[in-house]
């Protein structure tokens, strides 16, 4: 049968419904609200109530498919078609973008962004499923095991406290007679070398008495500040100081200062020839004073249980390769020292000078290497509590210290390897002051605590929270009030015991003898004097407290030390040097009055096997011997073969 020609309305219907049937599901994110509003209007205009929109699913018995839109449209009556032609309104054409193409409709992305965010959160939660999560302050923590405190010696000064110790006798523990003789010998040789090179100044050989006067004037310069050293000898007001002029002339003092040399001249020249090779020693000009001071600091004092490690800056702007710059330190330019100090007293127990990067440091990191170099476990013992800042702290270091029976605590950086990465129940950014989260991992306690800022702390021996509080200013209802907020035990102890090195720095800076100099090793000479004076003062103060006597101030201690140095230079010793050992009583030795001496000129020459160590089954070499018995004997901080041999043989 011949097919009749479709009207315009029928043609538009066919085009419309073919688009509806072919619509892709991928367009579901388009602006569906506008389509929903437009569809009823279009349907009303076209009067499509009798049109079948979607085809029924085909049956399995091979039935014919439903009629198409052509068959449905053919059933319309002529009157209805004419009526549709009258009501037809042509569609409004979309504005072109200028290139013959209509612009794409706007997308609503807010809903889909939220959906993607929910998907990301759910995926991260799925990844973290089964991991440990951060615990709140209400959750109880178990008490961790702490190593028993067993020091090698009784904490405190390792000298006979029953004797009377003067400031000079304590100072001589660090500036020993051997060290002073070596400095005098090297200074005299350096003065002769300068004179041979054409330098013109008056010189007479330096003696022990002159050196004691020289030290007294240097200590005096820390008490009285003048623009320059020659002002001490000015006779006009207000510089009319009687003390320096009464014991030494200005020219004599300056000639000693110019010629001051700490190391051996010949060995120093040999070391300079090795410059640029691995055998070159940058710090050779400081020896033997540098080594003797470090040994003396460890030998004459046993730290308390709480110790700390931190950096110290010795101010200098010398042009030398191991000078450092530290932005956050009060002294930004200078030489950096790593220092282990007693947290309660500020006693400098061990230190070393940082010489720059090295291949050994790169493997474990400078922080871990520095701590292990300073922690002399053979002299300290077990059970010490070490406090460090985030420059040193790491899970690797703390586990290494725990294997050596040493507890550790300190602030830590959250981007380190081993720090928990889980975010389940993490401390929120909007946390109130005093909120905390804690977690235990691999035997370590990690804590996040909100103070003014978020603080991260790691510890091997603390409990997460025991009810401690700290006073802080908190803003409430527009007013600042002081409140007690909860604080973790590790944070409280860290604030209490981390300031040992800072306390030592403060004691040094009060009356520092540091002066301007053109030689970098003289800067360290001044600093070694400061360390010796401050450590002597700390020991003097502890001995006075033990005898229940009134302690004197550091200024009075330095004044007394100056007075005794002048008397010592004149041969008028006010108080004899007491014994440095608890068991060293008069007459206890088989040869009383015996003093150990070196086989050679230094501690590195002509070493012999110790007789007492050999009798006990071990062979150790020593540079010392007893001049009366003529036998080699050890004299170390951890073993005193010299004393044991004379008591038992």
DSSP-assigned letter for residue 260 = -
Q: How do the domains of the chain map onto residue ranges? A: 167-270+512-569, 304-356+364-505, 597-648
Structure confidence at residue 290 (pLDDT): 93
Confidence of residue 96 (pLDDT cuts 50, 70, 90): very low
- The single residue listed with the structure tokens 């400031």 is 167
How far is Cα 586 from Cα 565, in angstroms, rounded to an integer?
Answer: 26
Q: Cβ atoms within 10 A of the Cβ of 313, count?
A: 18
Percent share of the chain, pLDDT over 70: 74
Q: Would you place residue 51 in the very low, low, confident or very high pLDDT band (cuts 50, 70, 90)?
A: very low
Q: Structure tokens of 552?
A: 């004197």
What mean pLDDT value characterizes the chain? 80
For the ranges 85-89, 250-254, 274-278, which has the lowest average pLDDT? 85-89
Spatial CB neighbours of 418, under 8 Å, sequence gap ≥ 6: 394, 395, 396, 441, 442, 444
User: What average pLDDT does the segment 151-155 reach?
Assistant: 92
Decide if pLDDT at 84 tops 80: no
How much is the pLDDT for 362? 61
Q: What is d(CA 562, CA 543) in angstroms, rounded to the nearest whole number? A: 20
- pTM exceeding the 0.85 threshold for the entire prediction: no
pLDDT digit string, tens, across residues 284-335: 999 889 999 999 999 999 999 999 999 999 998 888 888 888 888 888 899 9
Calculate mean pLDDT across residues 444-450: 94
Identify whether the C-beta of residue 356 lies closer than 8 Å to the C-beta of residue 553: no
What's the sign of the alpha-carbon dihedral 121, 123, 125, 131?
A: negative
In the structure, what pLDDT confidence band is assigned to residue 626 with cuts at 50, 70 and 90?
Answer: confident
C-alpha torsion sign, points 72, 74, 80, 86:
positive
- Show Cβ contacts of residue 452 under 8 Å, excluding neighbours closer than 6 positions: 433
How much is the pLDDT for 438? 95
Q: What is the pLDDT of residue 514?
A: 87
Which of the residue ranges 211-225, 471-485, 583-597 has the most confident prediction, judged by mean pLDDT? 211-225
Poorest-pLDDT segment among 94-108, 552-566, 623-637: 94-108
Antiparallel, parallel or unpaired: β 407-411 and 348-353? unpaired
Give the pLDDT of residue 385.
96
Query: For the CA atoms of 160, 162, 164, 169, what is the dihedral angle to 10 degrees?
Result: 0
Is the pLDDT assigned to residue 445 strictly greater than 70? Answer: yes
Q: Residue 472 has what DSSP assignment?
A: E
Asked whether 442 and 417 are in contact (CB, 8 A), the reply is no
Q: Are 488 and 434 in contact (CB under 8 A)?
A: no
Helix (H, G, I), strand (E, B) or coil at 411: strand
How many of the other CB atoms lie within 10 Å of CB of 181? 12
**Terminal-residue alpha carbon distance, the chain:** 139
**Of the given ranges (63-77, 224-238, 487-501, 593-607), which has the lowest mean pLDDT?**
63-77
Q: Kindly report the number of other CB atoms within 10 A of residue 520's CB atom.
A: 17
CA distance 620 to 574: 39
């Amino acid at each position: 049968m011949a097919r009749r020609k479709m009207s315009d309305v029928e043609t538009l219907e066919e085009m419309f419904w073919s688009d509806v049937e072919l619509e892709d599901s991928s367009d579901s994110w388009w602006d569906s609200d506008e389509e929903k509003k437009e569809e009823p209007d279009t349907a009303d205009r076209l009067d499509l109530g009798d049109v079948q929109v979607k085809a029924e699913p085909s049956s399995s018995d091979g039935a014919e498919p439903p009629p198409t839109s052509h068959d449905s449209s053919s059933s319309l009556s002529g009157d209805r078609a004419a009526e549709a032609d009258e009501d037809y309104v042509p569609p409004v054409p979309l504005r072109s973008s200028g290139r013959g193409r209509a612009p794409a409709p706007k997308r609503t992305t807010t809903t889909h962004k939220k959906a993607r965010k929910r998907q990301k959160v759910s995926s991260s939660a799925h990844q973290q499923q089964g991991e440990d999560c951060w615990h709140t302050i209400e959750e109880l923590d178990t008490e961790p095991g702490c190593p028993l405190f067993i020091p090698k010696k009784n904490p405190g000064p390792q000298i006979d406290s029953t004797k009377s110790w003067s400031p000079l006798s304590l100072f001589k523990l660090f500036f020993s007679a051997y060290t002073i003789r070596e400095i005098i010998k090297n200074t005299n040789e350096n003065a002769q070398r300068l004179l041979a090179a054409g330098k013109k100044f008056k010189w007479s050989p330096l003696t022990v008495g002159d050196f004691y006067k020289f030290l007294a004037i240097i200590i005096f310069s820390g008490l009285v500040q003048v623009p320059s050293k020659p002002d001490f000898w000015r006779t006009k007001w207000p510089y009319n100081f009687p003390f320096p002029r009464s014991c030494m002339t200005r020219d004599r003092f300056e000639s000693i200062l110019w010629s001051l040399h700490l190391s051996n001249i010949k060995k120093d020249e040999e070391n300079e020839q090795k410059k640029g090779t691995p055998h070159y020693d940058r710090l050779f000009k400081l020896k033997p004073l540098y080594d003797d001071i470090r040994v003396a600091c460890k030998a004459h004092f046993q730290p308390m249980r709480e110790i700390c490690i931190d950096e110290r800056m010795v101010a200098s702007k010398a042009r030398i390769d191991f000078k450092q710059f530290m932005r956050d330190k009060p002294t930004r330019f200078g030489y950096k020292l790593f220092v282990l100090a007693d947290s309660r007293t500020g006693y400098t127990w061990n230190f070393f000078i940082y010489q720059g990067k090295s291949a050994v440091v790169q493997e474990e990191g400078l922080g871990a290497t520095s701590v292990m170099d300073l922690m002399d476990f053979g002299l300290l013992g077990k059970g010490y509590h070490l406090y460090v800042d985030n420059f040193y702290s790491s899970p690797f270091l703390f586990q290494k210290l725990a294997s050596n029976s040493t507890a550790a605590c300190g602030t830590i950086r959250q981007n380190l390897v081993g720090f928990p990465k889980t975010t389940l129940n993490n401390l929120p950014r909007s946390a109130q002051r005093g909120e905390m989260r804690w977690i235990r991992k691999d035997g370590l306690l990690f804590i996040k605590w909100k103070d003014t800022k978020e603080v991260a702390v790691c510890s091997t021996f603390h409990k997460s929270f025991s009810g401690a509080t700290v006073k802080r200013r908190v803003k409430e209802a527009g007013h600042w009030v002081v409140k007690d907020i909860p604080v973790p035990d590790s944070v409280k102890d860290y604030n209490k015991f981390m300031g040992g090195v800072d306390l030592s720095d403060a004691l040094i800076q009060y009356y520092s003898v540091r002066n301007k100099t053109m030689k970098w090793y003289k800067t360290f000479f001044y600093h070694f004097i400061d360390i010796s004076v401050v450590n002597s003062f700390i020991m003097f103060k502890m001995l006075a407290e033990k005898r229940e006597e009134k302690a004197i101030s550091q200024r009075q201690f330095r004044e007394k030390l100056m007075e005794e140095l002048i008397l010592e230079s004149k041969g008028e010793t006010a108080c004899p040097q007491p014994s440095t050992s608890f068991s060293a009583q008069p007459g206890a030795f088989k040869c009383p009055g015996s003093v150990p001496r070196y086989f050679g000129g230094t501690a590195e020459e002509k070493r012999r096997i110790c007789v007492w160590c050999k009798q006990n089954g071990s062979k150790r070499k020593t540079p010392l011997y007893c001049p009366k018995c003529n036998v080699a004997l050890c004299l170390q901080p951890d073993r005193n073969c010299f004393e044991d041999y004379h008591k038992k043989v």
